[in-house]
Amino acid sequence: MAVERVIGIETEFGITTRNPHGFDPVGNSILLINSHEAVQAIKAIWDYAGENPLLDARGFEVSGERERPSQKDNRAINKVLLNGGRLYVDGAHPEYSSPEVMNARDLVLYEKAGERVLEMSRQAANRLLPPDAHLYIYKNNTDGKGNSYGSHENYLMARGVPFEKIVEGLTAFLVTRQIFAGAGKVGAENQTDPVEYQISQRSDFFEAWIGLDTMAKRPIINTRDEPHADEEKYRRLHVIVGDSNMSEFATYLKVGAMAIVLSMVEDGWVRKDLALEDPVRAIKEISHDVTCRRKVRLKRGVELSGVEIQREYLEMAWAYYQGREASPQVLDILEKWAWVLDKLEEDPWQLHRHLDWVIKMELIRSYMERRKVGFEDQRISMLDLQFHDIRREKGLFYLLERQGLVERIVTDTEIEEAVEFPPPDTRAYFRGMCLRKYRDQVYGASWSSLLFDTGDAAVKKIPMAEPTRGTRKLVQEVLDRSGSVRELFDNLTG
């Protein structure tokens, strides 16, 4: 039986400055996340105690050092947010991790809240910098110089599902999902075949089918075994094979369809043989064909297009829910999934309000027609980049949004609330509300615990190994009658 699907997303953002000469991305990322007043007020460190990125889901631990920052560095590069999420510096990028949510619509909401947090931080940082050093933030996946940074989805799964079943059930889905989840990209990178425009920003950078690494030899199926939950019951599927989306619709469908397929995998409902002959080659071939008609070869000898493979999954999903209760949101996702596949098969350009890669391509086409230029013109690459500018008053995606030219899933009012408050139906609620109520006494936080300074010699820990507990329904009454952290511990243990 499939577990309740707890979901989160981690987004690495591109960062640059008006005058890139001598630009220090690490230093500027640290400045960025420490500049916003609401973030500065929270002093909690990030608790790395339960993290081990060297564990492999195939049953072994790879050799290597687990890097842990000093307490001083920890405070500088990690900020726990009032909405239950996390803002931090990962390598040379600012990164936002959403709080845990229970459905695709809430994921869209809290993912967009991350953009707002980064933009507020950028504005605050720029007030400290001279005009020629102002920072700019882009929600994209490549710097155009051979470097890629990711958008990683995380899904709670049952530990009892053999990992080989996950690989078998998901590979073809993930390779082809880009036809509605790709962010669009001018040109090719990583020594792949040249192309004027392609569907995905990330596909050129995948070089392995299965593996643990996320920086080099990137795999389509990532094997990190770091559940951030009860390790006897759960695994966290860490999905690195996705683009950062500006479109709310694309994010909603990307995550919603993925969650449905995972339930099918857990319940043994992926019953068609969709094994690809060469997944690494296929992911690039599909990305490089904006007509969505190119076929890739399966191991059993047949050739199918990305749309056809997605239809196979959709048909299994409809059959899966014939004998199960489906929420209104699941039914909405299934209907949108079917509608998008129909449009992609007929003419992808009908989706110019919905999918990032089509929205961007229409913008570029219009510009090229007006200016009488081709893809080789440097301004086209700049258009590509400016599409991902998170400034709502300047970014090209947000220009289209203000003009009512893109489809929306959530409202601005809901996003503003998601910046301030955690989702009510996961453990993120307890994390976020404790930070709000006991801010000065929260010593540290992780996804699966909170550490409190009660004035005693040692910090006290509240474990949070069950992601579906710590909800408003379960903890609000206790929080209301706990005026101090000592009272909170007494009321939780009494």
Q: Would you please indicate which residues are annotated as catalytic (active-site) residues?
A: 90
DSSP 203: G
Q: Tokens at residue 153, please?
A: 């989805």
> Which three-class secondary structure state does DSSP give residue 97?
strand
Contacts of 266 (CB under 8 A, 6+ apart): 1, 2, 3, 157, 158, 161
φ, ψ (nearest 5 deg) of residue 41:
-70, -20
Distance (Å, whole) CA 205 – CA 219: 9
- Residue matched to tokens 């996946």: 141
Contact in structure between 390 and 138 (CB atoms under 8 Å)? yes
Contact in structure between 414 and 113 (CB atoms under 8 Å)? no
Distance (Å, whole) CA 426 – CA 447: 11
Q: Tokens at residue 195, please?
A: 């192309």
Contacts of 253 (CB under 8 A, 6+ apart): 104, 180, 181, 333, 336, 337, 340
The alpha carbon of 47 is separated from its chain's Cα centroid by a whole number of angstroms, namely 21
Q: Tokens at residue 260, please?
A: 């449905």
φ, ψ (nearest 5 deg) of residue 200:
-115, 145
H helix runs in 269-387, sequence order: 279-287, 306-320, 328-346, 356-371, 378-386
Contacts of 376 (CB under 8 A, 6+ apart): none
Buried-exposed string 7-16: b where 16+ CB fall within 10 A, e elsewhere: bbbbbbbbbb
Distance (Å, whole) CA 395 – CA 318: 38
DSSP 230: -
Distance (Å, whole) CA 391 – CA 137: 8
